[in-house]
Chains A and B, each alone.
Chain A
């Protein structure tokens, strides 16, 4: 009788038409949710390369995507964000939905040539987005 028992067990655990990827899809975040995106550029594209010597590559990154209705702690959003969402949905759609914007930045070190030919090493604040939020 062992064979019958084990086959019965198998049947009950995994239904025949089970699809694992379909099952996990329900846990994925929505595809276009608010998140950080890369944008690598060189200073020559900005026509700044005649005075910026370094770095050669610069990735300021940016935030893009939809703000979910229940932003909660994941985006560090204040309660105001949910209130604004409710106003947009229930009271007045001319009030914009919360936007996906940078919440934190990191600095950038730049080596530049001044018009008088002197060379400057400078550290600038808030040049690279490192975290997004819904506001």
Chain B
């Protein structure tokens, strides 16, 4: 019954962009205990600040997202959790020494393209696949 309830909640919330997600009941439960739930964090890397704009043409910087937080049972309604993560969280709850907590990791990744000059003034456009974290979840 827990899994069914969670599936329902997942279906409701998974399509929302991260910033639009409103904290659920369980989120408050975790926050009140002083723990941070698994979510996407943002860190802007500026090529201007790195003094690289003489060779990097575009972009001027990028949002280097990363996943951080805990995957504690019950897994929060707003995150993508695999069936295995749900099961692992339950086992961890019962036998903490036997199984570690599920891991907070990227669930969707996208590419980033960088345009830059090389030493010979040739221009290079390089695509780095699976570089930008689009969403995080428990695995």
Specify whether A and B are partners. Answer: no
Taking Cβ atoms with an 8 Å cutoff, the residues of A that contact B are none
Taking Cβ atoms with an 8 Å cutoff, the residues of B that contact A are none
